[in-house]
Amino acid sequence: MSQLSSIKDATKAKNKPTIRDAVIVQENTSIEIQSSAKYFTETGLHIPENTTDFQWQEIGKGLSKMDKAIQWAIGDWFLFGEKKFGEIFELAEDITGYKKGTLINFKAIASKFSPSRRRDELSWNHFQAIQALPEKKQDQIIEAAIKENLSVAKLRNMIRGTDQREEKNLADQIRALLKNIPARDAKTALNDVLKDYEK
């Protein structure tokens, strides 16, 4: 019996488990989630009375980071499982409670932006907004969004404005090109312009 088969059998036996018990432990800058039903459940957080001021602050920092990182974490988790075990959509839906479309989205953004390209200053939604752009353009927009402290809405407006300006610029280039060259050369020249636009 394969490792994945064992996991699937265990999942069926447990009647669709969900992520219900974890405690957040912060070590340096990383967050670990450890099994512990007494602290963190789907409906709340139990903090022991003997928690110190420092521990309480660290729990808050961990919760904040967990909230910001959850889409990235599930995307990375999914990519790892898919690479190691193959087709895992049904199992991933059972384990996380997320629908297939949501998992596809988490996976797509995580695969498009390696951890080295992700930035703490931006939310996962910022990256989702730019995922369809060419990589060079993504990097430019990431830097601009950080520098100008753009919200996701402002970032989307900036992209729409940039797209409209670039489309107008492209249309102007095509009109000028077609005006000045023989018809037999138009296709080659047009392809060159489009290649430059897509970079």
Averaged pLDDT for residues 58-75 = 86
Averaged pLDDT for residues 162-190 = 62
Same domain, 101 and 130: no
* Parallel, antiparallel or unpaired: strands 40-41 and 44-45: antiparallel
Same domain, 87 and 149: no
pLDDT at 149 over 90: yes
What tokens appear for 123 in the block?
A: 């939310």
Same domain, 102 and 178: no
Same domain, 59 and 108: yes
- Tell me which long-range contacts 8-16 makes (C-beta under 8 A, separation of at least 24): 8/91, 11/91, 11/94, 11/95, 16/94
* Average pLDDT of every residue of the chain: 76
Say what the pLDDT of residue 62 is: 81
Same domain, 193 and 130: yes
pLDDT at 172 over 80: no
Same domain, 82 and 145: no
What tokens appear for 151 in the block?
A: 């919200």
From the list 172, 146, 169, 144, the residue with the least C-alpha distance to 158 is 144
Q: Could you say which of 62, 89, 112 is where a domain stops?
A: 112
